[in-house]
Structure 1
Amino acid sequence: MGSTHFSRELRLLTPSHFENVFSNAIPAVSPFLTLLGKSNQCEHPRLGITVSKKNVRKAHDRNRLKRLIRESFRLNQHELPHIDIVVVVKRGLDEQSNEEIFRLLSKLWKKLAKRCDTSSSSQ
């Protein structure tokens, strides 16, 4: 097992990185989260997170959700293919417990990895 850090190269940093994923992405959807994935040219997956004030009002809730998403990604990154992922938080996620959020993310990482693997093999 490789290292489980979350360094700068594992992040989507610029608006163009996000726009690239939003165009023609493969979705993994739940009532509280949408994960969008698109293959990249890197040797590792990369993560971007969007949490709008409209969906999560309080800053400390937005920060908690982003921390949980990053931690879950950090622990699951070695099971993911080489894709760029944008996590879009929907209304109501801030009302879930940390355990429920981790469980949901774990399920969605697997779902997205499976969908991205099948789409890249069919091309």
Structure 2
Amino acid sequence: MVILTFPRELRLLNSRHYDYVFQQPQWASSLGITILGRLNKLWYPRIGLHITKKNVKLAHERNRIKRLTREYFRLHQHELPSMDFVILVRKGVADLDNQKITKILGKLWRRHYRLYCGS
């Protein structure tokens, strides 16, 4: 049985975790969203979000993007490779609707999966 929770262990919690990803990332980017990823030594993926006020002005828009990203990750965590991911957002993403953001996230994570598996 697959458990679809989002516990604390699946999050990048401190600057050392983020720095690890930023040192030698694999990256995938599309329409203002970039996902950086780096293999970890754990048996599960982890996620960190970097959505700045500079790029997404309104708090409710930043929260919406974070919520959509966390939900997509939660539902698909068992399909992802054991990597640490950092999601970066540029200007203009707040103008996209929820379905478009979810579609972009799916495309980018599939690209990471293909890079990891070598297919």
What is the root-mean-square deviation in Å for CA atoms of aligned residues?
Answer: 0.9
Query: SS at 1:44's partner residue?
Result: coil
Aligned to 2:37: 37
Structure 1 consecutive aligned stretches of length 4 or more whose deviation exceeds 4 Å: none
Aligned equivalents of 2:5, 2:68: Cα separation in 1:
14
On the 8 A contact 1:26/1:116 being kept in 2, the answer is: no
Aligned to 1:121: none
Question: With structure 2 as the length reference, what TM-score do the two structures score?
Answer: 0.95
Query: What is the Cα deviation at residue 117 of structure 1?
Result: 2.7
The total of aligned residue pairs comes to 118
Question: With structure 1 as the length reference, what TM-score do the two structures score?
Answer: 0.92
On the 8 A contact 1:10/1:46 being kept in 2, the answer is: yes
Query: What is the Cα deviation at residue 76 of structure 1?
Result: 1.1
On the 8 A contact 1:38/1:116 being kept in 2, the answer is: no
Aligned to 1:9: 9
Q: What is the correspondence of 1:1-123 to structure 2 with a 5 Å cutoff? A: 1-118=1-118
Letter in 2 for 1:54: K
Aligned equivalents of 2:31, 2:23: Cα separation in 1:
22
Aligned equivalents of 1:35, 1:41: Cα separation in 2:
19
Deviations 1:7-32 (A, max 9, x none): 10000000010000011100011121
Aligned equivalents of 1:93, 1:75: Cα separation in 2:
22
Aligned equivalents of 2:20, 2:9: Cα separation in 1:
16
Any gaps of 5 or more consecutive residues in structure 1? 119-123
Structure 1 vs Structure 2: percent identity of aligned residues?
Answer: 44
Aligned equivalents of 1:52, 1:76: Cα separation in 2:
25
Query: What is the Cα deviation at residue 77 of structure 1?
Result: 0.8
Letter in 2 for 1:84: D
